[in-house]
Amino acid sequence: MRLGRIASPDGVAFVSIEGPPDEPTAVAREIAEHPFGTPEFTGRQWSLADVRLLAPILASKVVCMGKNYAAHVDEMGGETVPHPVIFIKPNTSIIGPNVPIQLPVDADPVHHEGELAVVIGRPCKDVPAARAADVILGYTVANDVTARNQQRADGQWTRAKGHDTFCPVGPWIVTDVDPTDLELRTEVNGEVRQRSRTSLMIHDIGAIIEWVSRVMTLLPGDLILTGTPEGVGPIEHGDTVAVTIENIGTLTNPVVRKGKK
């Protein structure tokens, strides 16, 4: 199932997206209240072409993995560590597809980081890796946008990764995909910058959820970004960034510099 969140002439709603999304026959069926558990439908639906896709979920928090692909650790001049490295982006950094990434005037360079994101489906704490699938609603595409100069200056990552618009997510959540070996590709203006596979993660999704849930309670809708592979690079005013994950979809966002037209 593809779960999304839309703006229609009738307001904002969670929906199930049915039919090939790039075909004119695709429809968005309204889900009553929320998409967790077994969704109930209201009976209303719209052509997907007549609505606007929003960020597919409203997260209470975004937990991110650092240093989870060895080749990316190498390109950044770091060292791999035996345990997961986590940090948090504020939920105010979340935007949906086609919404501009806004580059702060004092952030240069700003890099794209295409990532697979896990969407939590129910409240959970201290989840064993073997039972991680029990607490997952599905998977989506994310871009962990990062102001490198601020990351270097601060010695930690909150400001560099926490700006408004620095967490594009979407275009929808897929509930029935196997995440263990998916191609991840990031393009800027059609040029491939990142191409890797989720099978190359150092810590797999079960290990990540076990580690994170030891630290904090996870709530329905929370996002866990699973790390980025090698190939990160700068994005500039006027660029278009597209992150594609096999069997999930493509998340596309334009880039604008604050203060420029």
Contact (Cβ atoms closer than 8 angstroms) between residue 82 and residue 211? no
**pTM (2 d.p.):** 0.96
Are 128 and 4 within one domain? Answer: no
Give me the CATH number covering residue 210.
Answer: 3.90.850.10
pLDDT of 104-116, one tens digit each?
999 999 999 999 9
240: in domain: yes
101: in domain: yes
Q: How many domains does the chain have?
A: 2
Label residues 144-158 b or e (16+ Cβ within 10 Å = b): bbbbbebbeeeeebe
| Model pLDDT, residue 234 | 98
Report how far residue 224's alpha carbon sits from residue 209's, in angstroms, rounded to the nearest whole number. Answer: 8
45: in domain: yes
| Model pLDDT, residue 258 | 87
The CA-atom distances, in angstroms, between 91 and each of 71, 100, 168, 176, 195 are: 28, 16, 11, 25, 27
Report how far residue 219's alpha carbon sits from residue 61's, in angstroms, rounded to the nearest whole number. Answer: 9
- Domain C-terminal end among 31, 52, 73: 52
Range of the domain at 240: 60-255
Average pLDDT, the chain: 96
pLDDT of 73-99, one tens digit each?
888 878 777 888 999 999 999 999 999
Are 10 and 125 within one domain? Answer: no
Are 30 and 144 within one domain? Answer: no
Are 140 and 222 within one domain? Answer: yes
260: in domain: no
126: in domain: yes
Are 154 and 39 within one domain? Answer: no
Are 145 and 222 within one domain? Answer: yes
Are 18 and 107 within one domain? Answer: no
Are 89 and 136 within one domain? Answer: yes
Handedness of CA 42, 43, 48, 50 (dihedral sign): negative
11: in domain: yes
The CA-CA-CA angle for residues 121, 127, 132, to 5°, reads 55
Q: Assign 215 a pLDDT band (cuts: 50, 70, 90).
A: very high
Are 44 and 156 within one domain? Answer: no
114: in domain: yes
pLDDT of 56-69, one tens digit each?
999 999 999 999 99
3-state secondary structure of 72: helix
pLDDT of 174-191, one tens digit each?
999 999 999 999 999 999
Strand-pair partners of 136? 120
Are 94 and 213 within one domain? Answer: yes
Are 89 and 201 within one domain? Answer: yes
Give me the CATH number covering residue 21.
Answer: 2.30.30.370
199: in domain: yes
Are 44 and 76 within one domain? Answer: no
Contact (Cβ atoms closer than 8 angstroms) between residue 65 and residue 51? no
